[in-house]
Structure 1
Amino acid sequence: MKNLSKIFIAIFILSNTIFSQRIKDIAMIGNVNSQQVIGYGLVVGLAGTGDSHRSSFTIQSITSMLKRFGITVPQDELKTRNVAAVMVTATINGLQKPNSQFDVNVSSMGDAKSLQGGILLMTPLSGLEGSVYAFAQGPISVGGYDISTKSGNRVAKNHTLAGRVPRGGIIKQSPEMTAQIENEVKVYLKEPDLTTCDNIAKAINTKFGNEIAKSMDASQVNIAIPNESQQNVVDFLAQLESIEVQSDYPAKVVLNERTGTVVAGNTVKIKPVTISHGGYNINIKSNPIISQPGAFSQGRMAIFNNLVPQVTEDSTNVVALQGASNVQEVASALNSLKVTPQDIIAIFQAIKEAGALVGELIIL
């Protein structure tokens, strides 16, 4: 059977590294606790891809659920192939009030083949101490497919035993806040960065004309509420969160092995390196370029390294890219040779291990 065409999805952030954003978009205002929650549930509506009778906990769960509805069915008569037992996980915080919605992650526990097309039944989500903070329910979205025929043929793409329920969780009670807002409020960056944190403090001080904000570290800014604003803290916080600041983020490459997705910032660079993977050879070499100033100018001669990546497959096809080598150029070269997403991800991992990837590598 012919394999389906491999599709590589690459998203590259081509805008400048530093740009203006509102504080509310990059940080959380308030003294807030985050709480991880977990629950055990059932996914129904599967097209024969659920758990088999070997997953005894699935049978027990179905029996218990039916009893709550006043239905009694012998366990040996239950058909479980349209049902799968799953674990449901999420993270919530004290700013999320009752009835707020959030995304939840769903992962198969038994021997199901796929969660595609399934519906998560109402599942309580509790914290480590046992308190129920939320409930989750809704259709599951997976990043692939798994199709089998009666003749034994099977076509699959990506991972279908884990997915998400977008906005499927509903808060019942919020985690307690660490402290009430009195004379001081704290701002926590969602993505810690020293430069951005310092820019937030400076922007706040410029806005209110006083030195009321101070950056404590890469993720926290402490703000003293002015005396004239203490009678109307909500208005002060509204002005605070609308302030625009220059945000700066480090170079990162994010890989999702389940879906074959690569997301990279434009500041990520690749040093000279040679990698052989399967039938592909990748060679990124450095070509020095001499910049000679014009006559009678005040400039000086400078030497730059021009990185040129080359990709060869069985020493026949060669792709050469001019200019500084970045993730976008290397990924585009590999994609032009029909390299699978898994191969591309493995190559980037090898580049990082070799110390040639200038940036942080994150694997989901």
Structure 2
Amino acid sequence: MKRLFLLFAALVGFAAAPAHADRIKDLGTWQGLRTNQLTGYGIVVGLSGTGDDSLEYATQAMKGVASRFGLQIPPGVNPATKNAAAVLITADLPAFAKPGQTLDITVSALGKAKSLRGGTLVMAPMVGADGQIYAMAQGNLAVGGLGVSAADGSNVVVNVPTAGRIPGGATVERSVDAGFATSPTINFNLSEADLTTVQRVAMAINQAIGPGRAQAIDAETVAVSAPQGAESRTALMAQIEDLNVTPADAPARVVVNARTGTVVINGAVRIAPAAVSHGKLTVKVDEKPQVSQPAPFSGGQTVVTPNSAISVEEKSSPAFQFQGANLADIVKAVNAIGASPADLVAILEALKQAGAMKADLIIL
């Protein structure tokens, strides 16, 4: 209960804090300037007997690698691949990434490999959603996990030995054209749609670069007219990102995590006049079996007789009244009756159903 009170006290403190200005760059992102996901398929070699063994697609990958160097494996020959493993490679291609730059990649086992520790990724292409090659990956894996097996079948696994990272393991071969240098406007998208905030962003931009340059086209997007050319637009975007805007107050919202019992109430929540009475009903079943022992040499048998006692206890709680309450009043009332997080959830749900709480109740 003390933890619940401290949590609510902290929330009251945050709610009472005055609104502050944020940089526009912290409120959203520019349209089109995004990361792109890359994937690839390759083979990791140099494993210490922890590879895919005779897995079919690992064997095909090995044949493909060998054919690059003019080595042809005879038909019908199935090379053992205990020291190799088929893997899936993933990476994120940042906006404006140029050929020659490097990317960090994640390599994950695709088949029956037990560990990738000590392995080396053979050169593999990485493609985007359009099927085009944007990077080439290769390098030595850094694996944080460890797996050890014994002859009797016992094994010890620490962390995840079947996945690893290669810092700077991919080299960018092709850049992505974001199109921001030639589009009629540059658009800024808020992370959270809000009509008030988007209007304030547009007003701040117009005050800084000239009236009529920015227009809020919906609850999330501000369109800014900009001169043609990457250099001019880059300078304009940098200027806009450093402008300060006071975002609108968040809508009234109560978030409940039913699995952990965590309840978060923001400062915009208000309670209309309402009376609440919340009690607890406890049912206790006490089993005290009795043993009936026969007399000596009587030939009888020991008998266990069940003996159950059921008790019901109801803790009554006085009713309390909300009178146009804010967050501080809610905290005081809930702590006055000694409510647990589970009780608080029940009270809030009932207030929502009664129409006394004008807030979004979100249950995770």
Task: Give the TM-score of the pair, scaled to structure 2.
Answer: 0.55
* 3-state SS in 1 of match to 2:334: strand
Output the CA distance in 2 between the equivalents of 1:218 and 1:139: 47
Per the alignment, residue 224 of structure 1 pairs with 225
Per the alignment, residue 237 of structure 2 pairs with 237
Residues 212-361 of structure 1 mapped to structure 2, 5 A cutoff: 212-217=213-218, 219-225=220-226, 232-245=232-245, 267=264, 304-306=333-335, 308-309=340-341
For structure 2, list consecutive stretches of 5 or more residues without a partner in the other structure.
Answer: 1-10, 267-277, 279-316, 346-359
Q: 1:151 to 1:34 in 2, by over 3 A?
A: same
Output the CA distance in 2 between the equivalents of 1:301 and 1:171: 57
Shift of 1:61: 1.6
**Structure holding more strand per residue:** 1
* 3-state SS in 2 of match to 1:49: coil
Asked if the contact 1:31/1:180 (under 8 Å) is kept, the reply is no
Shift of 1:45: 3.6
Shift of 1:51: 0.8
Asked if the contact 1:43/1:119 (under 8 Å) is kept, the reply is yes
Output the CA distance in 2 between the equivalents of 1:149 and 1:240: 62
Asked if the contact 1:30/1:181 (under 8 Å) is kept, the reply is no
Per the alignment, residue 208 of structure 1 pairs with 209
Residues 137-152 of structure 1 mapped to structure 2, 5 A cutoff: 137-140=138-141, 144-152=145-153
Output the CA distance in 2 between the equivalents of 1:288 and 1:69: 84
Residue type at the aligned position of 2:340? V
Q: 1:44 to 1:238 in 2, by over 3 A?
A: same
Q: Percent identity?
A: 32
Asked if the contact 2:102/2:169 (under 8 Å) is kept, the reply is yes
Per the alignment, residue 97 of structure 1 pairs with 98
Output the CA distance in 2 between the equivalents of 1:159 and 1:133: 28
Output the CA distance in 2 between the equivalents of 1:164 and 1:19: 40
2:157 aligned with 1:156: yes
Per the alignment, residue 82 of structure 2 pairs with 81
Shift of 1:113: 1.7
Asked if the contact 2:227/2:233 (under 8 Å) is kept, the reply is no
Residue type at the aligned position of 1:186? N
Deviation per residue, 1:222-258 (Å, 9 max, x gap): 112389x99933322221233345579999999xxxx
Per the alignment, residue 182 of structure 2 pairs with 181
Deviation per residue, 1:170-225 (Å, 9 max, x gap): 32112333464355211245x44437655543443443353533344455321123
Asked if the contact 1:34/1:175 (under 8 Å) is kept, the reply is no
Per the alignment, residue 69 of structure 2 pairs with 69
Asked if the contact 2:90/2:107 (under 8 Å) is kept, the reply is yes
Output the CA distance in 2 between the equivalents of 1:89 and 1:165: 11
Deviation per residue, 1:40-99 (Å, 9 max, x gap): 11123433322111x122122223213323445668584422321112234436532323
Asked if the contact 1:41/1:85 (under 8 Å) is kept, the reply is yes
Residue type at the aligned position of 1:201? A
Q: 1:71 to 1:103 in 2, by over 3 A?
A: same
RMSD: 5.0
For structure 1, list consecutive stretches of 5 or more residues without a partner in the other structure.
Answer: 1-13, 255-264, 273-286, 294-299, 311-322, 326-356
Q: 1:98 to 1:76 in 2, by over 3 A?
A: same
* 3-state SS in 2 of match to 1:232: helix
Q: 1:207 to 1:82 in 2, by over 3 A?
A: farther
